[in-house]
């Protein structure tokens, strides 16, 4: 693990040095989403979701800051079921390659995760980076520190591979899919899989409807926690 991190650090530093004199136009962009779902059958379920994503570009550098929160309340339950992530990412773009630094904080009471802090360094390759079509894949090395709801601590080293795909079906509808696979380096059979599919429908130049489904799988979850879960969230998004 240390050798892999050292190798990725050298590649990252080399790319940074080669780009330090390039300065292009800098600008901000991002989106703010609000989603509310209500389901009533045998029991009532209310779900609120908020997403904030901000990008800043300067030359070949791309900074992004994201916050994704969900609150879920069920009939007869006083406590809110909450989950969320906060991400900071830096990418240095060089032709079709990106060198990446990532930091993430995750909490998910439904999976008995009080806090999970992770940092990573990696490379990704963009097969296509057009306005109406993006295809990319990458590999990162991660270091994690996790605290369970029962106050149990563990440190882990993982690899993280991802495949991302975006295509504009027409001028109003865009389909986005992301797939992530994270095996534990030391324990065979210990892995996580996450798939997100998003359909974004443009309403006008700033507002769009976003329909999102997310599937999570963890081979070794906490006790009495199912291996898989999924979410379906509908959002109204404001882009800037």
Q: What is the number of other CB atoms lying within 10 angstroms of the CB of residue 27? A: 9
Find the mean pLDDT for residues 65-70. Answer: 92
Q: Is residue 18's pLDDT more than 50?
A: no
197 near 179, Cβ under 8 Å? Answer: no
CA 180, chain centre distance (Å) = 9
pLDDT tens digits for 133-191?
999 999 999 999 999 988 889 999 999 999 999 999 999 999 999 999 999 999 989 99
Q: pLDDT grade, residue 46 (50/70/90)?
A: confident
pLDDT, residue 82, reads 84
Find the mean pLDDT for residues 198-217. Answer: 92
Helix (H/G/I), strand (E/B), else coil: 204: coil
139 near 122, Cβ under 8 Å? Answer: yes
120 near 106, Cβ under 8 Å? Answer: no
CA distance 111 to 83: 9
In order of their start, the domains of the chain are: 2-20+37-239 (2.40.160.40)
Residue 99 CB-density burial (10 A; 0-12 exposed, 13-18 middle, 19+ buried): buried
pLDDT tens digits for 69-128?
988 886 666 667 788 999 999 999 988 999 999 999 999 888 889 999 999 999 999 999
pLDDT, residue 81, reads 76
The whole-chain average pLDDT of the chain stands at: 85
Q: Is residue 11's pLDDT more than 60?
A: no
- Read off the pTM: 0.81
Q: What does the DSSP assignment read for 111-163?
A: GTEEEEEEEEEEEEEEEEE-SSEEEEEEEEEEEEEEEETT--EEEEEEEEEEE
């Amino acid at each position: 693990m240390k050798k892999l991190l050292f190798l990725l650090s050298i590649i990252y530093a080399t790319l940074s040095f080669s780009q330090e004199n390039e300065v292009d136009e800098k600008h901000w962009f991002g989106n703010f989403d609000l989603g509310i779902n209500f389901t009533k059958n045998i029991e009532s379920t209310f779900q609120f979701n908020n997403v904030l994503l901000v990008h800043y570009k300067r030359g070949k550098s791309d900074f992004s800051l994201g916050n994704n929160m969900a609150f879920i309340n069920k009939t007869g339950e006083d406590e809110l079921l909450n989950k969320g992530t906060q991400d900071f990412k830096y990418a240095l773009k060089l032709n079709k390659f990106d060198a990446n630094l990532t930091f993430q904080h995750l909490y998910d009471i439904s999976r008995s995760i009080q806090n999970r802090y992770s940092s990573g360094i990696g490379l990704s390759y963009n097969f296509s980076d057009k306005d109406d079509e993006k295809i990319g894949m990458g590999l990162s090395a991660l270091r994690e520190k996790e605290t369970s709801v029962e106050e149990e601590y563990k440190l882990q080293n993982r690899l993280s591979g991802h495949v991302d795909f975006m295509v504009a079906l027409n001028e109003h509808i865009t389909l986005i899919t992301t797939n992530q696979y994270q095996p534990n380096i030391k324990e065979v059979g210990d892995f996580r899989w996450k798939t997100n599919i998003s359909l974004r429908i443009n309403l006008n130049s700033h507002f769009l409807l976003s329909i999102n489904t997310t599937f999570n799988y963890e081979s070794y979850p906490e006790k009495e926690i199912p291996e898989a879960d999924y979410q379906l969230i509908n959002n109204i998004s404001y882009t800037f």
